C-alpha cells in the first residue's frame, strides 16, 4: 500500500514538474519575466495536458474505487439486520449513496455551467456533458432501489410525494439536458443553452433536500447529515459511509474517463470539419476565372 502511494505521489510530482517546465519554456518564448498567475489555470485547462494527466490518474482511480467498493460491499453484507426493517436495511447502502450522488453530480454540472457562461473555461462544457449520463444513472438507481425498498416498508413501490416526485423531476431534467446536447449541432451554442438549463435546474436541489421538512411525506427526514449528529447506529453508519466514498470514487473515475472521451470526440469533429473544408486548389478550380470561356 505504501509503495503504491509512493508511486502515485511520484507520478503526481512528475506531472507538476512537466507543467512547470512547459510554463518556463512558454515564459522564455514570450520574452517576459512575469508569467501571469492566471496562466496557471489555463495550463490545467489545456485538453492535451488534461489527457496526459488522465492517463496517469485513471489506473489509481480504478484501483481505489475497486478497493473501497469491495470493502463497502463486505461491510454491507456483514451488517446486522435492523430491529424494525430486518435485512431490507441493506438496500440503504446502495440507495442512499446513489441519491446523494444524483444531487452531487447536478451540483458539479452547475459549477461547470458557471465555468462555461462566466469564465468560458475550455473544459467546463466537456465536464458538464460528460457528467450528465453518469448523474442520470445514479438518479435512476436511486429511484429503482428506493422503489424496491418502499414496497416492503411502505407497502407501495411509488407515491407521488414531494421527495419522490422532485427526484423524478431531476431524472427527467438529466434526460432533457442530454437530449439538448444532441439536438443542437453547434457545440458552443449547445454548451450555452445547456449551461442555462443546468443553472435553472439547480433550483430543484434545495427542493429535493428540504422536501421532507417542508411537506408531509412518506420519506423519512435526514438521518445522517443533520443538526445534532447522525441518528444511525455505527453498525449501519460505517458501511453506508464506506459505500458513499466508493460510489463517489466511481463517479470521479467514470467522469474523468468520459471527459477524455468527449475531448477525443471533439477532436474527431474538428478533423472532420477541416477535411470537409475545400482546399485553395478546389476553390480556384471552381471559380469562374478558371472556367474555360
Please give the residue ranges that form the binding site for another protein (CB under 8 A): 48, 51-52, 54-55, 77-78, 81, 86-88, 90-91, 94-95, 98, 133-134, 137, 140-141, 144-145, 148-149, 151-152, 250, 254, 257-258, 260-261, 264-265, 267-268, 270-272, 274-275
What is the distance between the alpha carbons of residues 199 and 204, in angstroms, rounded to a whole number? 10
Residues 124 and 112: beta-carbon distance below 8 Å: yes
What is the distance between the alpha carbons of residues 223 and 209, in angstroms, rounded to a whole number? 12
**Alpha carbon distances (Å) from 43 to 52, 177, 252:** 12, 29, 21
Residue number, 53 or 162, with CB nearest to another protein: 53
Residue number, 138 or 202, with CB nearest to another protein: 138
Q: Would you state the cell numbers that stand for residue 110, as one nine-digit string?
A: 452547475
CB 117 → another protein: shortest distance, Å? 26
Amino acid at each position: 500500500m505504501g509503495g503504491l502511494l509512493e508511486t502515485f505521489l511520484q507520478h503526481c510530482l512528475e506531472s507538476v514538474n512537466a507543467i512547470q517546465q512547459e510554463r518556463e519554456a512558454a515564459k522564455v518564448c514570450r520574452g517576459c519575466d512575469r508569467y501571469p498567475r492566471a496562466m496557471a489555470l489555463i495550463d490545467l485547462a489545456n485538453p492535451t495536458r488534461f489527457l496526459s494527466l488522465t492517463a496517469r490518474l485513471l489506473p489509481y482511480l480504478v484501483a481505489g474505487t475497486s478497493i473501497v467498493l469491495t470493502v463497502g460491499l463486505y461491510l454491507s453484507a456483514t451488517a446486522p439486520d435492523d430491529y424494525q426493517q430486518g435485512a431490507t436495511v441493506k438496500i440503504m447502502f446502495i440507495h442512499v449513496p446513489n441519491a446523494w450522488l444524483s444531487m452531487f453530480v447536478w451540483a458539479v454540472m452547475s459549477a461547470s455551467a458557471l465555468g462555461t457562461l462566466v469564465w468560458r473555461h475550455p473544459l467546463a462544457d466537456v465536464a458538464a456533458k460528460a457528467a450528465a449520463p453518469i448523474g442520470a444513472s445514479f438518479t435512476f438507481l436511486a429511484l429503482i432501489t428506493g422503489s424496491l425498498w418502499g414496497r416492503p416498508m411502505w407497502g407501495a413501490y411509488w407515491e407521488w410525494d414531494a421527495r419522490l416526485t422532485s427526484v423524478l423531476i431531476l431524472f427527467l431534467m438529466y434526460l432533457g439536458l442530454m437530449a439538448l446536447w444532441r439536438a443542437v449541432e453547434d457545440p458552443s451554442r449547445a454548451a450555452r443553452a445547456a449551461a442555462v438549463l443546468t443553472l435553472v435546474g439547480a433550483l430543484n436541489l434545495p427542493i429535493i433536500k428540504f422536501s421532507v421538512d417542508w411537506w408531509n411525506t412518506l420519506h423519512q427526514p435526514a438521518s445522517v447529515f443533520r443538526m445534532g449528529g447522525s441518528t444511525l447506529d455505527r453498525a449501519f453508519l460505517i458501511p453506508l459511509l464506506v459505500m458513499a466514498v466508493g460510489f463517489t470514487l466511481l463517479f470521479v473515475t467514470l467522469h474523468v474517463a468520459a471527459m477524455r472521451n468527449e475531448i477525443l470526440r471533439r477532436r474527431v469533429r474538428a478533423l472532420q470539419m477541416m477535411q470537409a473544408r475545400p482546399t485553395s486548389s478546389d476553390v480556384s478550380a471552381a471559380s469562374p476565372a478558371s472556367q474555360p470561356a
